[in-house]
A and B are shown apart, each in its own frame.
Chain A
Amino acid sequence: EAGVVQSPRYKIIEKKQPVAFWCNPISGHNTLYWYRQNLGQGPELLIRYENEEAVDDSQLPKDRFSAERLKGVDSTLKIQPAELGDSAVYLCASSGGALSNYGYTFGSGTRLTVV
Chain B
Amino acid sequence: AQKVTQAQTEISVVEKEDVTLDCVYETRDTTYYLFWYKQPPSGELVFLIRRNSFDEQNEISGRYSWNFQKSTSSFNFTITASQVVDSAVYFCALSEANTGGFKTIFGAGTRLFVKA
Contact = CB atoms under 8 A, between A and B. Distances in A.
Contacts of A89: 43
Contact of B45 (A40, A98, A106, A111): A106
- Chain A CB count within 10 A is highest, among B45, B50, B103, for B45
A81 to B, nearest CB: 25
Contact of B91 (A42, A108, A109): A42
Interface size of A as a range: 20 to 34
B101 A103 contact: no
B88 interface: no
A3 interface: yes
A77 B78 CA distance: 36
B44 A44 contact: no
A103 B47 contact: yes
B100 interface: yes
B64 interface: no
A31 interface: yes
Contacts of A104: 45, 47, 104
Interface stretch (B54-62, B66-74, B79-87, B106-114): B106-114
A55 B99 CA distance: 12
Interface of A: 3-4, 31, 40-45, 48, 55-56, 89, 91, 93, 98-109, 111
Interface of B: 4, 9, 33, 35, 37, 42-47, 50, 91, 93, 95, 97, 100-109
18 contacts: A3-B44, A41-B108, A42-B91, A42-B93, A56-B102, A56-B103, A98-B100, A98-B101, A98-B102, A99-B33, A99-B97, A99-B100, A101-B50, A103-B47, A104-B47, A106-B37, A106-B45, A106-B46
Given A99-B33, A103-B47, 13 more contacts: A41-B108, A42-B4, A42-B91, A42-B105, A42-B109, A48-B102, A55-B102, A98-B101, A99-B101, A102-B47, A103-B37, A106-B46, A107-B44
